[in-house]
Amino acid sequence: MPSQNLRDDADKYLMQTYSRQPITIVRGRGAKVYDLEGREYVDFVGGIAVNVLGHGHPDLVQAIQRQAVQLIHTSNLYYTEPQVKLAKMLVDHSFADRVFFCNSGAEANEAAIKLARRYGHERHGPGRFEVITMKNSFHGRTLATLTATGQEKVQKGFEPLMPGFAYAPFNDFGAIESMVNEKTAAIMLEPIQAEGGVYVADRDYLRHLRDLCTQQDILLIFDEIQTGMGRTGTFLAHEQLGVKPDIMTLAKGLAGGVPIGACLAKESVAAAFTPGSHASTFGGNPLACAAALAVCHVLLEGKVLDQARRMGEYLAKGLADCKDRHRIVKDVRGLGLLQGMEVETDARAVVADALARGVLINAATERVLRFVPPLVITQPEVDKLIDLLDILFNQRPTAGKDSHH
């Protein structure tokens, strides 16, 4: 079997940082992908919330093709059109006034952390450097961002961690209020903790955080790397949560699958970066920015966002109904097309069984299934997922509230 040879070579030649599912994906269309043997899968992973327009979206493909012919890369020693147009597009549709481009989520968060420290130093002196992040958060795998990540399993073995971070329990305003001190430069959080198991921030909590930050000139940083780009049914998740940050990071869905990251900030904050403060060779390159521009055009035109909102509600309802049918399902939570289902069984085994039956899902934790499909997912595709979950839960020991199946 050719895919077996490929897997053998992967075992031999790649650093073993991932435990992969046993399929080789060769192409995709919309919310479906196909493996080397031609088997079809409905894709509820979407490249981990990256393929917002689905696979093979004509506008995205065409933008990449055109830009590839025109100019792929020149560095930031020169101006390029796609980068400036994309920055303007993001500024026009957010709280922000300026954008820094890089190549990944971790790098976007690095930029945010550096910007916050620089701002803190300039405004309040060198003692102002601490960033408070949340327990159970996820911000990336570089040394600074794994330190920002409030999960021991991500940090273990990489000590010493970066100084200047502290961790607060999520959605607990009293706790963070008592942690803030003269060292605090920023509070950084995901509007929805995604990798940590899909926990949505309370509106009141965010409002209190915003007020606290404003009063004490502490920067509020939203990591919208997973929640942004239409994922929750609005262009940015915080539009629904009633609070604006001072700094925000984007990556994952921003260019629909082409690597890119962005750190956005208000003018007063962005001014802390001056020529030489920060840089990236590939950051904002024309190819990635042309792809991101195409994604932004499609999303902001409206139809795909409408679909994301409708299908988000449909998926949430389908999962909630599924919960009512199965004792094994403990909770369903999320916003739009970022949904999590907590199960009282091995989530990874459910993922493997679903794969064998032609549906890609992912386990955010040992107990939480996560659904982050392309925003162009359709009703029959969601139905297929729910039907499959019913079958898989009925097979499991404690399955079924109604035993008449």
Ligand X SMILES: *Cc1c(COP(=O)(O)O)cnc(C)c1O
- Tell me which residues are annotated as active site: 138, 223, 252
Q: Which is nearer to ligand X, 86 or 364 (CB)?
A: 364
From residue 235 to residue 254, what is the string marking binding to ligand X with x (rule CB under 6 A)?
----------------xx--
Q: Which is nearer to ligand X, 109 or 339 (CB)?
A: 109
Tokens in use for 261?
């990251």
Q: Which is nearer to ligand X, 35 or 107 (CB)?
A: 107
Q: Give the one residue of 43, 130, 190, 246 binding ligand X; rule: CB under 6 A.
A: 190
DSSP 3-state of 228: coil
Q: Is 363 in the site for ligand X (CB under 6 A)?
A: no
Amino acid (1-letter code) at residue 216: Q
Over the Cα atoms of the chain, what is R_g?
21
Q: How far apart are CA 275 and CA 140, in angstroms?
A: 26
The dihedral built from the CA positions of residue 28, 229, 173 and 111, taken in this order, carries a sign that is positive
Q: Is 139 in the site for ligand X (CB under 6 A)?
A: yes
Distance from the first to the final alpha carbon of the chain: 38
Question: Which segment (27-35, 135-143, 212-220, 335-343) binds ligand X by CB under 6 A?
Answer: 135-143
Q: Is 105 in the site for ligand X (CB under 6 A)?
A: yes
Q: Which is nearer to ligand X, 57 or 370 (CB)?
A: 370
Q: Is 140 in the site for ligand X (CB under 6 A)?
A: yes
Q: Which is nearer to ligand X, 104 or 184 (CB)?
A: 104
| Residue nearest ligand X (C-beta atom) | 105
> Site for ligand X (CB under 6 A): how many residues?
15
Cis, peptide link before residue 275, omega less than 30° from 0: no
Q: Give the one residue of 35, 223, 246, 381 binding ligand X; rule: CB under 6 A.
A: 223
The dihedral built from the CA positions of residue 71, 76, 77 and 81, taken in this order, carries a sign that is positive
Q: Is 326 in the site for ligand X (CB under 6 A)?
A: no
Tokens in use for 36?
């080397």
Q: Is 299 in the site for ligand X (CB under 6 A)?
A: no
232, 335 in Cβ contact below 8 A? yes
CB of 155 to ligand X, least distance (A): 15
Those residues whose C-beta lies under 8 Å from the C-beta of residue 373, and which sit 6 or more positions away, are 31, 42, 43, 44, 45, 46, 311, 315, 337, 381
Count of residues making up the chain: 405
Q: Is 112 in the site for ligand X (CB under 6 A)?
A: no
Tokens in use for 309?
């909102």
Q: How far apart are CA 31 and CA 117, in angstroms?
A: 41
Q: How far apart are CA 293 and CA 145, in angstroms?
A: 27
Q: Give the one residue of 90, 194, 305, 363 binding ligand X; rule: CB under 6 A.
A: 194
For residue 356, the 8-state DSSP code is H
Cα→Cα distances 153→147, 163, 164, 196, 344, Å: 11, 18, 19, 11, 21
Q: Is 110 in the site for ligand X (CB under 6 A)?
A: no
CB of 165 to ligand X, least distance (A): 15
Q: Give the one residue of 53, 111, 115, 225 binding ligand X; rule: CB under 6 A.
A: 225
The dihedral built from the CA positions of residue 165, 167, 172 and 176, taken in this order, carries a sign that is negative
Q: Is 101 in the site for ligand X (CB under 6 A)?
A: no
Q: Is 257 in the site for ligand X (CB under 6 A)?
A: no
Q: Which is nearer to ligand X, 364 or 389 (CB)?
A: 364
Footprint of ligand X (CB under 6 A): 104-106, 109, 138-140, 190, 194-195, 223, 225-226, 251-252
